Amino acid sequence: MKKTIHTNLVRFIVLVLALCMMIPVFVACNDPETPVDPNKPGNGTTPGGDGTTPGGDEKDPEKPDIYDVADSLPESENYGTTFNILFFQEKLANNFWVDERTGGVIDNAVYDAISRTEERFGVDIVGIKSSAGSEIDHVTQIRNQITGGKPDFDMVRAHDVQGANLSLEGVFMDLYDVPNLDFSKPWWPANTIQSLTFMGQMYLISSSISYQGLSSTSSVFFNKTMMEDYDIEEPYEAVKSGEWYLSDMFASIEDFWQEGDDGYEGKSQDDIFGVVVPYQLYAWQESFGIELVQKDPDTGELILNGYDERILPLFDELYSVCWENDGGYMLPREDAKVIFGEGRAVYIPVDLGAAVTNFLNYDIEYGIVPYPKLDESQEQYYAGYTDRYFAIPYNCSDPEYVGTILESMSAEGYRQVTPAYFEVALKNRYTKDETSKEMVDLIKKSMILDFAYVYGADKWWSRSLYHLLSGKDKDASKDYASYYTTMLPEAEARVDKVTAAFEDMLAKKDQ
């Protein structure tokens, strides 16, 4: 395509809803090179000048009744103690814990959710930053504290894969043995509970205590202006009809590449693309309904499903658009977000939270849809997601106390933080049209957490697409058959290790 792209001036109109009143605010122009914290005052995210947030005593027009769900905990209790949560790095903590109001709708909701639990049960919830310099060192610190005796934390948060690896060592408490956790409540998503449970045991916490999972959910953003300029049909109606397919998405932009002005011959980050694909490729298989490891419904055993016949066309589609035709470009995630934000890509498959943390910095009109279906055999849309998991030390001195605070924090997160993030910020502030709001609801209902991703050691199970297609480690390839054959022994060994670990932990519980 040689047609010149005309970037339309997009007017940002931020509709600010307060609990008690509506007041006008001014939205500052943001430098696209400087990341903007959507919680900071002056970014158009403050819900009023009075510091009110969703979940207050008065009815919030942006908080649907689905969030008004009571928990089963006692009305109040005065524990008179401190509840410590160990985490790695402050930037990874504000989705579940902040120590002050900032004036931002999301941070205020997190703070208020914590405050309610503190007041209700007479505790002081404290976040403790790990002294570790890396995620691996953080896990080592967790292990050493737990195995060395009584740890100085009641609950810990760790990297998804590193934390899952540590859980196999038997250092965490089975959540089914923790009193006062009610897994029938909506702050414990049923799919997540099912995915993290094996042999009747669950050691990792992924609940509404944090909005990390929701922000990491897979979605597809598209540039509405570029679609109009190039007569590309927006995918909304295809999604609604259940006929939004990956092949159709890629076919619409297969010859779209245009060289930029950097003088470089060949694709570069200064060019214009049909789709920019982050080479991390997180949660892709499950977003197309592919389970690389399944749990046998009769025996409960883990079954390798790495040669699912549907994974081959997925590899073919991705390889073709990124390496064989002029439609796409694969590059690091943050670089891909910049290209899309600057209006130089029609599509980007990316985390849903990019609307809140990335694309508000740019003057771009976008729509949001779920990942497309892979083929006609796929009955529904899926939205794979990841999380950073919490866990409770196996030598916790008072499981009933810890269970009470965890349940309360999860419940308050669901009642206050989830609507602040999802309804107010994501849907009503950073979603550009009414149909995208419908799509965001559909994406949320389609969220799926994959056991293979969690317990795959960040290798074969979850990263096969990455290792073959990214071209980061070596030349990209779509020869999945050879790759599968080479990696099969390692995959089988991993299945055996996970199975043996859960068997051993179960046996110790029965002693």
Task: State the pLDDT at residue 260.
Answer: 77
| pLDDT at 75 (0 to 100) | 84
Q: CB-based contacts of 219: which residues, under 8 Å, 6+ apart?
A: 349, 350, 351, 352, 368, 369, 370, 371, 383, 440, 443
Task: Spell out a b/e string for 28-45, using b for 16 or more CB atoms within 10 Å of the CB, else e.
Answer: eebebeeebebbeeebbb
* R_g (Cα) of the chain, nearest Å: 23
Which pLDDT belongs to residue 480?
Answer: 87
At 63, which amino acid appears?
A: K
65-214+387-433: CATH number: 3.40.190.10
Q: What confidence score (pLDDT) does residue 483 get? A: 87
Beta bridge partners of 81: 123
Q: Which amino acid is at 366?
A: Y
* Residue 17 contacts residue 424 (beta carbons within 8 Å): yes
List pLDDT tens digits, range 197-206: 999 999 999 9
Taking the C-alpha atoms of residue 253 and residue 273, their distance in angstroms, rounded to an integer, is 8
* Domains 65-214+387-433 and 218-384+446-484 equal at CATH topology level: yes
Q: Distance (Å, rounded) from C-alpha 85 to C-alpha 153?
A: 6
CATH of 218-384+446-484, picked from 3.40.50.300, 3.40.605.10, 3.40.50.1100, 3.40.190.10, is 3.40.190.10
pTM of the model: 0.86
What b/e readout covers 459-488, taking b as 16+ CB neighbours within 10 angstroms? ebbbbbbbbbbbeeeeebebebeebbeebe
pLDDT of residue 463: 79
Write out the two tokens for 32.
């696209």
Pure H helices in 122-245:
135-147, 160-167, 190-196, 212-215, 224-229, 236-240
Q: Write the burial class of residue 376 (CB in 10 Å: 0-12 exposed, 13-18 middle, 19+ buried).
A: exposed
Distance, in Å, from the CA atom of 197 to the CA atom of 175, rounded to the nearest integer, reads 10
| Domain ranges, ordered by start, for the chain | 65-214+387-433, 218-384+446-484
Q: Please name the amino acid found at residue 423.
A: E
Tell me what pLDDT residue 114 has: 97
3-state SS assignment for residue 94: coil
Residues in the chain where the model's pLDDT stays below 50:
1-58
Name the nearest CA neighbour of 95 among 111, 83, 84, 82.
Answer: 111
Q: List pLDDT tens digits, range 386-435.
A: 999 999 999 999 999 999 999 999 999 999 999 999 999 999 889 989 99
Q: Provide the pLDDT for residue 15.
A: 30
The string of pLDDT tens digits covering residues 53-96 is: 333 344 565 677 899 999 999 888 899 999 999 999 877 788 99
